Amino acid sequence: MNKFPTNEHLRPRFVATLAVFAMAGLAGTTASAQNYPVTPQQRATAQQTAQAGIPISELAPNAPDEYTVKPGDTLWAISRLYLRSPWRWPELWGMNISEISNPHRIYPGQVLYLDKSGGRARLSTRRGAGGAEGTIKLSPRTRYESLSGMALPTLNPSLIEPFLAEPVVVDDNTLLIAPRIVAGNDSRVLLSRGDRAYARGNVQSPLIETAGPIQTFRIFRDATPLKDPGTGEILGYEAQYLGKAQLQRGESTMSEMVEGKEVVSVVPATIDIIAAREEMRAGDRLLPEPPRQLLSYAPRAPQQPIEGRIVSVYGNAVQFAAQNQVVAINKGLRDGIESGHVLAILKNGETIVDKTGAGKETLKLPNERIGLLMVFRPFEKVSYALVLEINDTPRIGDLLVNP
């Protein structure tokens, strides 16, 4: 439970300043914030934006002057409520650019106020009445409830939460050296939820118990290569998620006398299958369960120019993607891609032969913008993104650019 002793953590100021949107002690609800280098030019741009806001022409036609945040809202939905270009949310809000990757939070019950003075639009929040120029005045108090689960996510959690736990992109060696299931209890060949099984690590890293909570592992099979449609580079291997297991007993050895000789045998680790998407079997691999990821981040355009492509549609042997479907793209951390980055999808114009003229000239039709996607889980060379909006059907190989 988080405790907030004074109002020193509850004193944001929203007019002509960089918004401090943590509200009630955000530092207590997350682990240490990730630090990103900020150049003087970027900081100056952020400060100028915070003071200037955005042109009123960039607002959505029916942007409300006041809006009370409701349970079930998402940051993307509110962005669309206020902006023609929802990825420009940080500019409207005046976020500090150094905080964009771990943004301040919006909570149900807060009221958003739209200031349209001077031909520019700015958005702020206040709790209660009073305070000149948008200054929040709060009495000292102590809070005992946690706000970590109340903050609005950027996207509907039900659309992306499975993909934060399920798919994983690894290099060609990760699964080969990962612990593996060697047998099921009672000679079971196929394993499901509630079954007990046995597993081993490699010689250098045996599967042993460690101090602390029970260790949980995700179980994978068949790493499929993700290939860049443009260059042919192998960007990583997408492992097929099968389920989860908990380690009940680590590997050990046992000595016994056999025909007068001491024989030392390896006793594999004992695991219990606690979740199953598909049946598991001997040879499937175990990877440690990662920590739960923060789902709240700001939708925004990348700072640097991006030219990418859709690599695959997750969980389908098809070429086409639908709205609210997850795709893999050929850009990742090495390219500066971060969670929250919004990219436009361009339909790759066909190459045709002009049969209307005498020369039958080859023509390349223009690329057409057909939708938007948002990155929610970047890896080194590849990222997972959710298709947000489409007016045509995206497919593998379609182009991605800054929105």
pLDDT (0 to 100) of residue 46: 57
pLDDT at 58 over 80: yes
pLDDT (0 to 100) of residue 322: 87
Overall pTM > 0.75: no
pLDDT (0 to 100) of residue 40: 61
- At residue 48 the predicted structure's pLDDT band, cuts being 50, 70 and 90, is low
pLDDT (0 to 100) of residue 222: 80
188-204 residue pLDDT tens: 889 999 999 999 998 88
pLDDT at 399 over 70: yes
The average confidence (pLDDT) of the chain is: 78
pLDDT (0 to 100) of residue 83: 92
The pLDDT of 201-215, averaged and rounded, is: 87
| SS3 assignment for the chain | CCCCCCHHHCCCECCCCCECCCCCCHHHCCCCCCCCCCCHHHHHHHHHHHHHCEEHHHECCCCCCEEECCCCCCHHHHHHHHECCHHHHHHHHCECHHHCCCCCCCCCCCEEEEECHHHEEEEEEECCCCCHHHECCCCCCCCCCCCCCCCCCCCCHHHHHHHHHCCEEECCCHHHHCCEEEEEHHHCCCECCCCEEEEECCCCCCCCCCCCCCCEEEEEEEEEEEECCCCCCEEEEEEEEEEEEEEEECCEEEEEEECCEEEEEEECEEEEEEEECCCECCCCEEEECCCCCCCCCCCECCCCCCEEEEEEECCCCCCECCCCCEEEECCCHHHCCCCCEEEEEEECCCEEECCCCCCCCEEECCCEEEEEEEEEEECCCCEEEEEEEECCCCECCCEEECC
- High-pLDDT (> 90) share of the chain, %: 33
pLDDT (0 to 100) of residue 246: 94
59-63, 134-138, 356-360: the lowest-pLDDT one: 134-138
pLDDT at 143 over 70: no
